Amino acid sequence: MGSLSTRHILGIKYLTKEDIHLIMETASYFKEVINRPIKKVPSLRDITIANLFFENSTRTRISFELAEKRLSADVVNFSASASSVSKGETLLDTVQNILSMKVDMVVMRHPLQGAPFFLSKHIDANIINAGDGTHEHPTQALLDLYSMTEKVGDVSGKNIAIIGDIRHSRVALSNIFCLVKMGARVRLCGPPTLIPKNIESLGVEVDYNLKRTLEWADVANILRIQLERQHIRYFPSLREYSLYYGVNKKLLDSLNSEVVIMHPGPMNRGVEISSDVADSQQSIILHQVENGVAVRMAILFLLAPHKS
């Protein structure tokens, strides 16, 4: 098995195409492992991993923890609300204190863009970015790529739509970097206020019309409106958003071909996606969650220090 070109997973923009292929191949192996009756392997025995979550999370935190435990790593969990961060401690002090307890790898989610990058310059452990503000969420993009490939084959030359709050979504940015790198055609769709100006310079197209976008797409990755990151009103109301950009069954049934539906969660049912779409045969949302564990196992395994 080869090795990655990097010691950390800070963002898709720092990965090569070969890194991404290696992660995909390794994830396929671990997907087979976690479908065995005995899901646990000893690969990361004696490796200690700290999951540092300075921002809320359900899926990503559980997914990392399961991935770590299935690789037999020792795991410590930290969440900001229950920590000394609220007593005024700096990020570096918090992390250095944790590392002095002999932690090898850090999985970190943080509300500020660049926080994992900053840490990687100051500490020795391998760092995996589990989402930094509105910047990147690399492991989500990799599990999305894995799930798409499973469904439609090699994404190169395929039409992938990303729909919703592109401006505030780290999933959107990591998906764009990843899909463009792997040769997919990427089209963004959402209200003009939620799509940054000049985003075409990243190699994507923009279409403000949902029906036309879905008609074009092989796969549609639908994103939530990140209300907690919006400090002004970008559109009049959720009801209006849903009317123009909500994906519902009637709309999908009016198309000429079947689109694969994805969503990273958490879903706001009835806003960006209707229940009859989320729960339909076209949706691979729960496969994304399942694949998330295998992809994270692959990443942890490939990054982990080799102890002799």
Q: Considering the complex, state which of residue 140 and residue 274 has its C-beta at the smaller distance from ligand NCD.
A: 140
Which residues are CB-contacts of 73 (< 8 A; sequence separation ≥ 6)? 44, 45, 47, 48, 49, 105, 300, 304
Closest C-alpha among 68, 79, 69 to residue 105:
68
Per-residue mark of binding to ligand NCD, 233-272 (x: CB under 6 A):
-------------------------------xx-------
Q: Which of 8, 110, 167, 224 binds ligand NCD (CB under 6 A)?
A: 224
Output phi, psi for 278, to 5 deg. Answer: -60, -35
Q: Quickly count: other Cβ atoms within 10 Å of residue 277's Cβ.
A: 25
d(CA 206, CA 190): 9
Q: For residues 9 and 129, is the Cβ–Cβ distance under 8 A?
A: yes
Q: Considering the complex, state which of residue 246 and residue 264 has its C-beta at the smaller distance from ligand NCD.
A: 264
Q: Considering the complex, state which of residue 47 and residue 293 has its C-beta at the smaller distance from ligand NCD.
A: 293
Minimum distance, C-beta of residue 46 to ligand NCD, in the bound complex (Å): 29
Q: Considering the complex, state which of residue 135 and residue 187 has its C-beta at the smaller distance from ligand NCD.
A: 135
d(CA 283, CA 261): 4
Cα–Cα distance list, 155 to 172, 183, 201, 230 (Å): 16, 7, 20, 32
Angle at 134 between CA 259 and CA 113, to 5 degrees: 145
Number of helices (H), then strands (E), in the chain: 11, 9
Angle at 307 between CA 74 and CA 101, to 5 degrees: 45
Residue 281 CA to its chain's centroid (Å): 22
Minimum distance, C-beta of residue 133 to ligand NCD, in the bound complex (Å): 9
Which residues are CB-contacts of 243 (< 8 A; sequence separation ≥ 6)? none
Q: Considering the complex, state which of residue 116 and residue 131 has its C-beta at the smaller distance from ligand NCD.
A: 131
d(CA 25, CA 38): 21
Minimum distance, C-beta of residue 144 to ligand NCD, in the bound complex (Å): 10
Tokens of 50: 């700290």
Minimum distance, C-beta of residue 59 to ligand NCD, in the bound complex (Å): 5
Site residues (CB under 6 A) for ligand NCD, limited to 15-74: 59-60
d(CA 250, CA 161): 19
Q: Considering the complex, state which of residue 58 and residue 201 has its C-beta at the smaller distance from ligand NCD.
A: 58
Tokens of 240: 């209006």
Minimum distance, C-beta of residue 142 to ligand NCD, in the bound complex (Å): 12
Minimum distance, C-beta of residue 264 to ligand NCD, in the bound complex (Å): 4
Q: Considering the complex, state which of residue 27 and residue 171 has its C-beta at the smaller distance from ligand NCD.
A: 171
Per-residue mark of binding to ligand NCD, 102-141 (x: CB under 6 A):
-----------------------------x-----x--x-
Minimum distance, C-beta of residue 96 to ligand NCD, in the bound complex (Å): 26
291 interacts with ligand NCD by CB under 6 A:
no
Minimum distance, C-beta of residue 140 to ligand NCD, in the bound complex (Å): 5
- Interacting residue ranges for ligand NCD, rule: CB under 6 A: 59-60, 131, 137, 140, 170-171, 224, 264-265
